[in-house]
Amino acid sequence: MTDRAWFDAAKGDIPQWAASMPKDADGTTIDWDWVRSLDLAHGVGTIPESTPQSIHDALKADYATREHLESIIAQCNSTFMTDYDRFIGSYRLPRALAYANRRLNDNINTLLHLGEQQHLWVVSRERRGRTTVAVLRPYSGSRPSNDDQGMLNLSGETGDASAGNTAAENSDVKFPTTVALDDIQDRTAAILDARAERRKAQRFQKRAGDAAMARANLSGATSPGGAALPGGAAASGNATGHHPKPDWRDAYLPGRDVDAVMGIDIETTGIDPARDYIIDVGFEFMNMASPRPAGEPETYAYEQGYYAAGDAYGQSRLAFGVPPENAALGNVLIAKLTGIDVRGRSSEAGYRLFDEWPQAQAGLLARLTQQPYVAHNATFEHSWFMLNVAGYAESYRAGRITIIDTLPMSRQWDPGAVPTNEHPYGDNTLDAYAKRQGALDSAHNERHLGLEDSHIMLVAMKHHLAALKAQGKGPWGSTGRAGVGGKSCGRKR
């Protein structure tokens, strides 16, 4: 198979998806013929002429295309995971759609910048509900500083990152603002909010139905008054003295027999796996109970000299690139957070893109299926692997992948995770958890690089499990589980 042949294979899966998924995440009937017509490999964005109306029209068209694609992608996971008859054999199509959507998103950001260059609008990035959106306002000769904009340097030259001057301020091109802005505003926040409201209404309806069944004595109740209403069970005890209620994250807690695991952390250009890119992956192995394997190198040099390998082994860090269009725009926020400047990570500079590198995906998948993998807020890594790693979704659905999350370990079992007004569930960031468990000195902070963050996470987990075992709590408490625990499809707990 050639590098791009998998796009044809993905389109070949459309009949399976069409039969199982007639509507998208917003309840709209999917035009699968339109999906079939898309050139997923070479781009679905619009390249306009450099005139104000052409730029406006291209941005409007690209926003519409992105909304259609993302509403389909958002529905694919639940459809695939509830396809109990296995009518859909592969997750190639959602991965291909996400691949195309990332390039489309780059095209949208390029158009936003082009409009700034020509003084058609001013862009600000604003938090709205569940996401951050680009807000367009008329150009007035100046604009507020906005560090989250990115470098906005289409030449790709690596100037001073503080030169957050907009192209509108630097450009000699002087176009009047002659285009309407109302019909080219980013609607992502409104779409996500409406989607969340529909899910909320569905959950309420289900709970009301369950309650009615319980009152009617049809759900296993044994007394005339009916069973207790769903969700009314007492919270399980833990090591903290406070008792957070059980929630869905508890499925990712480890069991008392957990031992060899792989810790993993990824760094990305944003938070949306259908829009952004994986640029850094770090992982290592550690045994929670048995001795460190003999024959493994005794030391490893982390970026932080004060990190000691200890019981960790098999360390690996992988660097990946971004398309030239993404590199040209830059990313101030990620540069500040991780130290990774995507302007130097262009595929033209020799960096391979993770979503275009089948061998890297296959190598990572082989490691993810060998033993449980551990991440802090593991649903983040899981969502990125679903849309980036060939074979991951299929392996996960088949029960060949087990995921353990240290976030619920902190939330449920860490005595230091005391709820406060600022942190209603306790401070459960990796930085706070690692410091409380003695894996990170209080004088230093989480590095935000894959391997270094994987390391402090595993050290914290091992320290934490040892303390819990000595106290007979956590996995060894009355609500603990035997076995390795974690989340795995098709396995009873």
pLDDT digits (tens, 9 = 90+) for 270-279: 999 999 999 9
Residue 404's Cα: distance from chain center in Å? 16
Whether 215 and 226 have beta carbons less than 8 Å apart is answered as yes
Mind listing the pLDDT tens digit for each residue in 288-340?
A: 999 999 988 878 888 888 888 899 999 999 999 999 999 999 999 999 999 99
State residue 335's pLDDT score: 93
Q: What is the pLDDT of residue 298?
A: 78
* Residue segments in the chain with a per-residue pLDDT below the cut of 70: 1-3, 142-177, 217-243, 491-493
Structure tokens at 183: 């019909």
374: phi then psi, degrees, rounded to nearest 5: -120, 135
Helices (H), 216-314: none
Question: What is residue 491's predicted lDDT score, i.e. its pLDDT?
Answer: 54
Q: What is the dihedral of CA 13, 358, 388, 460, to 10 degrees?
A: 140
Q: What is the mean pLDDT of the chain?
A: 87
Secondary structure of the chain: what % helix, strand, coil (to 5)?
40, 10, 45
pLDDT in tens, 336-357: 999 999 999 999 999 999 999 9
Query: What is the identity of the amino acid at 202?
Result: Q
Asked whether the beta carbons of 322 and 279 are under 8 A apart, the reply is yes
pLDDT of residue 177: 55
* 115-147: burial string, b at 16+ Cβ within 10 Å, e else: bbbbbbbbbbeeeeeeebbbbbeebeeebeebe
